[in-house]
Each structure stands twice: as C-alpha cells, then as structure tokens.
Copies of this chain bind each other. A is one copy, B any other.
Amino acid sequence: MPISLGELAAHFGCELIGDPDTLVKGVASLRSAGPDSLSFLSSSAYLAELPETRAAAVILRKQDAVNCPVNALLSEQPYATYARMAAVVCPEPVPTPGIHPSAVVSDSATIAATAHIAANVVVGEQVTIGENTVVGAGSVIGRECGVGSDCQLVANVTLVKRVRMGDRCIVHPGAVIGADGFGNAMTPEGWVKVPQLGGVSIGNDVEIGANTTIDCGAIGDTVIDDGVRLDNLVMIAHNVKVGAHTAMAAMTGIAGSTTIGKRCMFAGQGGSVGHVTICDDVVVAAKSFVSKDITEPGTYGASFPAENAKSWARQVARFRRLGSLIDRVKKLEQ
C-alpha cells in the first residue's frame, strides 16, 4: 500500500528529515532497498551500509541521521518503529468473515459473525471464537476451547481441549495446545496414565510458533501470560507458568510445574527442569538448562561451543585426567 513519508511520520510520531511526499511501497534491507522501499538501521553492525543505501527513507536514531544519504525517519527505537510501519506498508491480506462450507462446526459452538473459519476446519462442542479471529485451514478446535478476538490460528493448528486464549494471539501451523501432559504413575505392572484434567490459559498478545506444544495441566491450568513469545518446536509441559513478555527461542523445553517470571529470555535448545521457580528478567543462554530455582535476575548458562574436533578431544582427555592431576598436585604439596 503506497504511503507517504509524511503520513508515516505523523501516524507514528516520528520526526522526518526529508521529503514528506515521497511514497514507500515496500520494505527492504539497507543494501537491497530501492527508491520506493522503507529501510531501517537498528544495529551498528549495519552502519557501514547506510551511506550506500538507495532507500526511500531509513528509520534510524537521531545520531545516525548525519550519515543518511536519503530521507530519515527518526526514532529512539528504530527496530520497533520499523516493525510497526512495516505492518502498515505491507499489510497481510485479511480473509473475509464467514464459515467455509467444508468446515465442520458443532452446533454448540459460538462463532462471532466477523470471524473467518477456513476450509476443512473442525470446531468442537462448546467452543467460542471471538470477533475478527481467523481459524486457518485444517485447524481442529476441540471441546470447551475459547479463542478471543483478533486472533490468527494460521493453519493446521490443534487446540485439543479446555484451551482459553485471549485477544490478538497468533498461533502458527502445527502447534498443539492442550494435549495431555506426560503424567504416568509407575506400578509393578508398568505405567498407569494419570488423567490430565486441567486446561491451558493463554493471555493476550501471545505468539506461539510452528510445531510448538503446550500441554494442558494435570490439575489446574498451564498458564501463558500476556505478550509471551514462543518460537517453533518449543515444549511447555503441564502446569508450567510462563510470565508476561517472556520469550523462548526454538527448541526450548520447560518441564512440568516450573514457574518462569516476566521478561525472561531463553535462547535455543535449552530450558528448565521441572518444579523450579525462575524470577523475572532472567536470560538463559543457548543449549543451557536451569536445574534449580533462580532468584536473581541476570544471565545464566553452561555450554561449550563447538571447536575443532581434535582439539576438543584433547580437552576431554585432559578433563578426564583431572582426578589424577589433583592427586599429583596434592603429592607435590606434601
């Protein structure tokens, strides 16, 4: 949607240095931008690309404007401002309201008139779907689930049962929310399944990645608070509580009954054991897992990045000789 820099500046409260009538039609990186593209500079890593850019305008901090060869939109948060402007410049198509004839919807479900239920969706008993919410093709919404307004369940999403989701949530394909938690009681005859009788409670403005799984609680709910961001292939086990605005990168796994604070960040392939409490503002490094309560904000981790395999093998051999090394030092001390 072509939009003028003047309109963008006015709408988002930015100072514009340059021509308010220039139109932008798309977005691009500094390097690939053409004369109708909006670009941005949020990290000094890309500063060297600024003088060469051919963008229509660049969103940047005031101190970087001096090096900008084209129109500049000033923002103290250029990346967030870019995010908001890009959504206006490049809007995704909005499906028209209505229920596709191939969808199978329970008589006891309540679907808002402005909602879009796509092809081959199945909606179970006592489900409610809010205004403007899009349930994408192939999704299955099981019994007693409630989805708020302005949500997008992109496609092939499964809400199994008792999932209650707020407004403006996005769930990507293949995500499974509300499946039974992993509850098993050992007996001499083998495992006995422990019924998983809770639900999943999801706040507003939550985004859940592709093929991520969030299990229902065993007793009581698994809870995902407002503004949480989960990447793809994340696992949230039963009765976990994830605090507001916490973000987890791909392949993070949180075991059962763990409580995580607000604004935490988990890098990829790590996570936490079960039954621990992690306070607000904790960052967990890549491939690292939390094994006990964390009570102080800060960064935590424990992993070794890959190195040359032969050099690593030597390190491991030295590590295995630590016991004898300690003995040798003890002997020297005597």
Q: Which residues of A contact B (CB under 8 A)?
A: 26-29, 32, 77, 79-80, 82-84, 86-87, 90, 92-93, 100, 102, 104, 118-120, 122, 124, 136-138, 140, 142-143, 154-156, 158, 160, 170, 172-174, 176, 179-180, 182-187, 190-195, 197, 205, 207, 209-211, 213, 215, 219-220, 226-227, 229, 231-233, 235, 237, 244-245, 247, 249-251, 253, 255, 267-271, 273, 283-292, 298-310, 312, 314-316, 318-323, 325-326, 328-329, 332-333
| Copies of this polypeptide in the complex | 3
Which residue of B is nearest A215, CB measured? B232
Q: Is the CB of A306 within 8 A of B319?
A: no
Taking A142-B155, A270-B306 as given, write out 7 further A-B residue pairs in contact, using a Cβ cutoff of 8 Å, ordered by the A residue number. Answer: A87-B195, A138-B140, A176-B210, A269-B269, A304-B316, A315-B320, A332-B333
Which residue of B is nearest A292, CB measured? B305
Greatest chain B CB density within 10 A among A138, A229, A333 is at A138
With A213-B174, A229-B182, A320-B315: A104-B120 Cβ-Cβ less than 8 Å: yes
Min CB–CB distance A257 → chain B (angstroms)? 11
Of B26, B309, B312, B332, the contact of A332 (CB 8 Å cutoff): B332
Q: Is the CB of B332 within 8 A of A82?
A: no
Measured CA separation A231–B284 after assembly (Å): 23
Greatest chain B CB density within 10 A among A102, A118, A219, A271 is at A219
Which residue of B is nearest A174, CB measured? B176
With A213-B210, A232-B215, A322-B318: A83-B182 Cβ-Cβ less than 8 Å: no
Q: Is the CB of A268 within 8 A of B269?
A: no
Chain B residues near A310 (CB, 8 Å)? 299
Nearest 7 interchain pairs by C-beta: A291-B305, A80-B185, A122-B137, A104-B119, A302-B304, A299-B309, A176-B210
Min CB–CB distance A310 → chain B (angstroms)? 8
Measured CA separation A302–B303 after assembly (Å): 9
Chain B residues near A28 (CB, 8 Å)? 219
With A194-B82, A298-B309, A326-B321: A211-B176 Cβ-Cβ less than 8 Å: yes
Q: Is the CB of B329 within 8 A of A325?
A: yes
With A83-B183, A182-B229, A211-B176: A143-B93 Cβ-Cβ less than 8 Å: yes
Measured CA separation A153–B76 after assembly (Å): 45
With A77-B185, A245-B191: A326-B318 Cβ-Cβ less than 8 Å: yes
Measured CA separation A229–B301 after assembly (Å): 30
Greatest chain B CB density within 10 A among A158, A226, A270 is at A158
Chain B residues near A291 (CB, 8 Å)? 286, 305-306
Q: Is the CB of A300 within 8 A of B289?
A: no
Chain B residues near A210 (CB, 8 Å)? 158, 176, 179, 213, 215
Q: Is the CB of A184 within 8 A of B247?
A: yes
Measured CA separation A326–B314 after assembly (Å): 12
Of B142, B160, B312, the contact of A301 (CB 8 Å cutoff): B312
